[in-house]
Amino acid sequence: MATLQKELNRVHLDEQNPAVTEEKAILFDSSRCSGCKGCMVACKTWNKLPSPLELNSQKEGWQGSLQCPYDLGPNTRLTITFNEDGADRMWGVNWAIGRRACMHCTDAGCVTVCPSGALYKNEFGMVSYDREKCIGCSYCKGACPFDVPRHMGTDDLSGVSLRINKCTGCPDRIAHGMDPACVSTCQPGALMFGNRDEMIKIANERVAVLQGKGFDKARVYGIDEAGGTHVIYVLKYGIEQYELPENPSVSGLTAASEIMKPVLGVGSIALAAGLGLCFLRGVGYKRDELRYDEVNHDVIDVETGEVVKHIDKEAGER
């Protein structure tokens, strides 16, 4: 498998099939998802991401939910969320099944803040990365409005092995006309993959059907959020059941931090210029050599012997 993957990766996309360079998207239809988690298994299998095998060994611990792992992790790029709204009722549960993974934003904060260029947007519009370039600064974690990026090697205090791990959108598969691993294994057809425009069209049609069936809160998510994501959601129930922010946006502090780079550049030039001017103005400076006669409280010019200042102690001078 490893050899095959390396071979696949070597093929240059544009030479093979220029048509696949169109903007792509994954469509997740929550109304069709059965919560089988086959997509999670496919993701781990294709990307060789291990899972702990010991009983109840997930770091997050047992949450009393089908949602396990409970959150994304160093080796978990995708998890299926389960929300049991209405569980306080005697019967009838609005069991909302969601999907948590990278949303592949158009306005990707993680790409903006990545100092080494490890994170980038590929030709499909997906946010991918070159792990060899990752320096483990973890800035992407704070910049993501969906709290998605996770890092491997977090148990290493030195940070030597700290590297990003998140959904890449399987660009190696896409480049060869294949669906991302998660999509390829979805039995009920909740996951689809194709041109983004087409996925949005399908999503809108599906929402219309759902609303027609009485699911008033059904909506499409991802068309405009974060500049337009490359994972489009059909939400069967209200958004509050899907661990998704209503208005995802990159934190203002992240933007402010980015502004500091040009500020530092301009400030450094200004500082250098200012100090350079001071230096030039100070060239040739000479001052009289003074000494202090502590008996008579006189400050005396050494060369001339002249008293330049008398300290009147009785008057309170120092």
Query: Which spans of this chain sit near other proteins (rule: CB under 8 A)?
Result: 114-118, 132-139, 141-144, 147, 151, 154-160, 162, 251, 253-254, 256-257, 260-261, 263-264, 267-268, 271, 275, 277-279, 281-285, 287, 289-295, 297, 299, 302, 311, 318
Q: How far is the CB of 185 from other proteins (least distance, A)?
A: 30
Of 2 and 157, nearer to other proteins (C-beta) is 157
Of 88 and 132, nearer to other proteins (C-beta) is 132
Of 104 and 196, nearer to other proteins (C-beta) is 104
Of 8 and 271, nearer to other proteins (C-beta) is 271
Q: How far is the CB of 81 from other proteins (least distance, A)?
A: 18
Q: How far is the CB of 116 from other proteins (least distance, A)?
A: 4
Q: How far is the CB of 246 from other proteins (least distance, A)?
A: 16
Q: In this structure, how many other beta carbons lie within 10 angstroms of the beta carbon of residue 193?
A: 22
Total residues found in the chain within this entry: 318
Calpha distance 50→304 (Å, rounded): 85
Q: Which residues contact 88 (CB under 8 A, 6 or more apart)?
A: none
Q: How far is the CB of 144 from other proteins (least distance, A)?
A: 7
Of 21 and 257, nearer to other proteins (C-beta) is 257
Q: How far is the CB of 109 from other proteins (least distance, A)?
A: 10
Of 13 and 299, nearer to other proteins (C-beta) is 299
What is the 3-class SS of the chain, one letter each residue? CHHHHHHHHHCCHHHHCHHHHCCEEEEEECCCCCCCCHHHHHHHHHHCCCCCCCCCCCCCCCCCCCCCCCCCECCECCEEEEEEECCCCCCCCEEEEEEECCCCECCCHHHHHCCCCCEEECCCCCEEECHHHCCCCCHHHHHCCCCCCEEECCCCCCCCCCEEECCCCCHHHHCCCCCCHHHHCCCCCCEEEEEHHHHHHHHHHHHHHHHHCCCCCCEEECCCHHHCECEEEEECCCHHHCCCCCCCCCCHHHHHHHHHHHHHHHHHHHHHHHHHHHHHHHCCCCCCCEEEECCCCEEEECCCCCEEEECCHHHCCC
Calpha distance 148→231 (Å, rounded): 13
Q: How far is the CB of 248 from other proteins (least distance, A)?
A: 12
Of 40 and 118, nearer to other proteins (C-beta) is 118
Q: How far is the CB of 79 from other proteins (least distance, A)?
A: 17
